[in-house]
A and B are shown apart, each in its own frame.
Chain A
Amino acid sequence: MKIINITKVALLAVASLMLLPAQADYPEKPIGVMVAYGPGGATDFQARIATLASGKADLIGQPIYILNKPGAGGRTGWNWFASEASQDGYMLGAYNVPHFIAQSIVFDTKYNINNLEPIGNWGADPAVLIVGKDSPFNTVGELLAHAEANPGAVTISGAGKFVGHHIAFLQFAKASGANLTYIPASGGVDALRMVKAGETVAGFNNLSDSARSASDLKILAVADLTRHDYLPDVPTLMESGVDVDDSSVNFRGLMVPSGTPQDVVDYLASKVPAMFNEKKTQGKMKSTNSPSRVMSRDEVISMWSERQAYLTELLAGLK
């Protein structure tokens, strides 16, 4: 009888432990961040930099490790994150707006903005319109005049379909009314190569990568609402007379799957922006040419739903 009693007590103890709110002392072990791209890519290394300070006691208080799940343009990782990742706050995910929202609109994905909860945003990389350094075009106007005279002949490269560059292209084509041809390369690096080599007439690419290669390129305009610190002399598309807003800006940040306990979400939301803003982290972002823009959870929630509504409209009929 005694043995049975001991077993009972042990079972009760275990059961009560399980009933206790696990998040009471969250976080008690290292936290993962799922990146839907391979190691060495921009999202991957920015995620590593942005989470550098997480171990500090006044920030998250636990180190963060990166889990790369690349494939199918990010869909493999995000699908896994929404359907299989643990919902206890020990697995965060990195998002890429507008890319991941556009994909969830066009394709049949397991994730969408309704089963994910944003935590905070660390970076914003606008798309820029670039031409090769030997190109005859020096302004957006000259490029569009050429496109008007030769419908379809102006080719514009970007890092594939439904990424920020593609959104920028669609907006640009719509607003200017010009007949342009989009060339979906297999990634930002290859899209940039096409412009440098003169294979395509122009291209939309990341501001950070283009600013780095400024000696091989001419940067005509930024697809954002304001000019960027890195390129103070480059006008926005709006200044150049084409009505394109900031919908194509590539926002990067952290999220958790829906179903994560509210107090864990609140805890992370209160600590993560401070982690992104930490001095050393910001220094490292700057020295690697990664444009930083820290946003709180509430700001990201409204940014996501704005993009969702706008992209649904823009991509209607496109597939």
Chain B
Amino acid sequence: MNSQIKLSTIIVTLVSAFLVYASFILGDSENYLFPRLISATIAILTIMLWFEKGEADKSTNFKDLMPGIAIASAFILLLKILGFYLASMIVFFTLVMYYTKPTESKDFWRVLLIKLGVAFVFTFALYGLFTLLLKVHTPEGLF
């Protein structure tokens, strides 16, 4: 068993332990019959998982992934404050600016302008689709 399988198995074990705890301790027997059945089965399977010889996990390239998760998380939290459309434009622009391939054009201002333009057009398309066409009312936020 390599260390990553161990880690993921430990996480699964912890999650299932919590589920078993939550359904047996927090709930009454009438309403929690199903969660109890499921969580008990999950617990048994987790024990079996400890003894299963599986393939190695895929490794994670956190260096490239984490900035993306950070930007996207910030976006999700800012959605309601800034309003959906403004936040979308900002996150679009930030993500495509941060993730730039070395092969892209070296002309910084040109790239910036293009990306800003695409971010604007994409956001506007979202506005057209959701607000104008489908009449979905997103939170307005500041603007």
Contacts and interface: CB of A to CB of B under 8 A. Distances in A.
Direct A–B touching in the complex (beta carbon < 8 Å)? yes
Interface in B116-143: 135, 137
4 contacts: A32-B137, A65-B135, A65-B137, A67-B137
A233 B10 CA distance: 68
Interface string A52-67: 0000000000000101
Interface of A: 32, 65, 67
Per CB-CB distance, the 3 closest pairs between chain A and chain B, nearest first, are A67-B137, A65-B135, A32-B137
Interface of B: 135, 137
Nearest to B136: A67
Contacts of B135: 65
A65 B135 CA distance: 9
A65 B137 CA distance: 10
A32 B139 CA distance: 13
A13 to B, nearest CB: 20
A32 B135 CA distance: 12
A282 B137 CA distance: 28
Nearest to B139: A84
B110 to A, nearest CB: 35
Contacts of A65: 135, 137
A48 B137 CA distance: 16
B142 to A, nearest CB: 14
B136 to A, nearest CB: 9
Nearest to A65: B135
Nearest to A32: B137
A32 B137 CA distance: 9
Nearest to A91: B137
A278 B135 CA distance: 25
Contacts of A67: 137
